[in-house]
Amino acid sequence: MKPFHHADGVLHAEAVALPRIAEAVGTPAYVYSAAALRSAARRFRAALADIPRKHIAFAVKANPNPAVLDVLAREGFGADIVSGGELVAALDGGILPEEIVFSGTGKTQAELMQALDVGIGQFNLELEAEGRLLSRLAVERGTRVAAVLRVNPDVDARTHAKITTGRAESKFGVPMAEAAAIYDRLAALDGLDMRGIALHIGSQITDLAPLEDAYRRAGELLATLRTGGHRVTHVDLGGGLGVSYRSGEPDADVEVYGAMVARVTQGWNVTLMFEPGRFIAAHAGVLLTAVTWVKPGSAHPFIVVDAAMNDLMRPALYDAWHAFSAVEPSGRRIVADIVGPVCETGDTFARAREIDDVKAGDLCVFHTVGAYGATMASTYNGRSLVPEVLVDGDSATVIAERLDAHAIARQRSGRRRIACARSPVLHAS
């Protein structure tokens, strides 16, 4: 049975009817399926069955809810984090510190110290200066930490421009041509146990050729480093596998991906690390919303729903397409624009789309929003932070409460004076 399916004409998440959830927490709300998370996690792992030594770390930024991370921790997943906040989420989700990998272009000294104090498994360094700082902090603590160097393989992932990360002009990693020299210098530092390299070329990748290209380049660097006398034991291949947002189109072929990885990395003799985010979580979530108005438009009606771009930013940010359907479809179809209440033309989920006929008050869902959905939510336009519900079989649990925008605003308000008198003027040197 599909995790989201109709039974008696009503859309269910596993064994729970979605109207029941709307009644309990209101709309909009994210609803996740634990079974869908587990099945994607198992499918990903099974596709890598031929890889003898591997570590799979869920990219927390795709869905940092600790209850979601807990489901994946129980599947043996570690975590790939990009901030101190995500470190706390991963630990709250029951992921062991040694299973955590810290990626990210702008880790601050405070974040590096936080991660050192927790004892995470690996730091993915993005630049030489970061490695020098990390080494010094580790030495101050009397330890040595495992680190890899992220390289920029200069390949085009052929995905949306805002989620391609492996081109020479992108901000991520060090240039391939300089990688060996930087690695030499980092490996000489007392606080670092340099054990390999990392790359991540982008997200929502369905064409595996750029990935293969990037992995081959990593293989060449691996050989160069070993020739240079380095003991390389880990290569982090990143994430990026895409999913289908439209019915009828396939997800990235994870089995073909697994076979490609096995072929390209044959003889590398390292532990391979993976950081899938979207592939694990995207299909596991829907955004439940209610129709507020059906407003006449010039060409077709506007379906004004109570979810908006602040709850699901992907359409506004990436022109993303999310399937939309009625929770209790009548069988009639219409063509409409689907929009939210936010005062931005970008608050448009779909244009001239053929959808289920809906009227004010009807419950609907946007599909495939388990990744990069709730995590990007904001309170723009004074809107509340959207709640999240995790369904597992016939149980449903609120795993994030709706947080009213006015409550957040009040918590942040007040008038705290900054002491300005006689403070020394700081000059940039």
Q: How many CB atoms lie within 10 A of CB 105?
A: 14
Determine if 239 is a binding residue for ligand PLP (CB under 6 A).
yes
Q: Can you tell me which of 277, 329, 373, 387 binds ligand PLP, judged by CB under 6 A?
A: 277
Name the burial class of residue 220, with classes exposed (0-12), middle (13-18) and buried (19+) by CB atoms within 10 angstroms of its CB: exposed
CB nearer to ligand PLP: pick between 18 and 201? 201
- Residue 201 CA to residue 167 CA, distance in Å, equals 8
Q: Which amino acid type is present at position 6?
A: H
- Residue 271 CA to residue 296 CA, distance in Å, equals 58
Find where tokens 């293969």 sit. 212
DSSP E strands in 18-176: the ranges are 29-33, 54-59, 78-81, 100-102, 122-125, 145-152, 174-175
Examine the residue annotation and report whether 343 is marked as an active-site residue of this protein.
yes
Determine if 240 is a binding residue for ligand PLP (CB under 6 A).
yes
Determine if 314 is a binding residue for ligand PLP (CB under 6 A).
no
Please name every residue paired with 302 in a beta bridge, in sequence order, or none if there are none. 295, 337
CB of 24 to ligand PLP, least distance (A): 30
CB nearer to ligand PLP: pick between 25 and 179? 179
- Residue 11 CA to residue 1 CA, distance in Å, equals 13
Q: Can you tell me which of 80, 111, 130, 154 binds ligand PLP, judged by CB under 6 A?
A: 80
Stretch touching ligand PLP by CB under 6 A, among 11-19, 54-62, 71-79, 346-354: 54-62
Stretch touching ligand PLP by CB under 6 A, among 135-143, 235-243, 255-263, 405-413: 235-243
CB nearer to ligand PLP: pick between 329 and 372? 372
Instruction: Tell me, by CB under 6 A, how many residues bind ligand PLP.
Output: 17
Contact 167, 202 (CB under 8 A): no
CB nearer to ligand PLP: pick between 276 and 315? 276
CB of 109 to ligand PLP, least distance (A): 20
The catalytic residue among 343, 421, 425, 428 is 343
At 346, list the tokens. 């970008």
HSE, CB side, 13 Å, CA atoms: give it for residue 214: 34
Q: Can you tell me which of 27, 63, 103, 122 binds ligand PLP, judged by CB under 6 A?
A: 103
Stretch touching ligand PLP by CB under 6 A, among 254-262, 273-281, 403-411, 416-424: 273-281
- Residue 274 CA to residue 239 CA, distance in Å, equals 6
Determine if 276 is a binding residue for ligand PLP (CB under 6 A).
yes
Greatest extent of the chain over all pairs of C-alpha atoms, in Å: 73
Give catalytic residue positions. 343
Residues that bind ligand PLP (CB under 6 A): 59, 61-62, 80, 103, 200, 203, 238-241, 275-279, 371
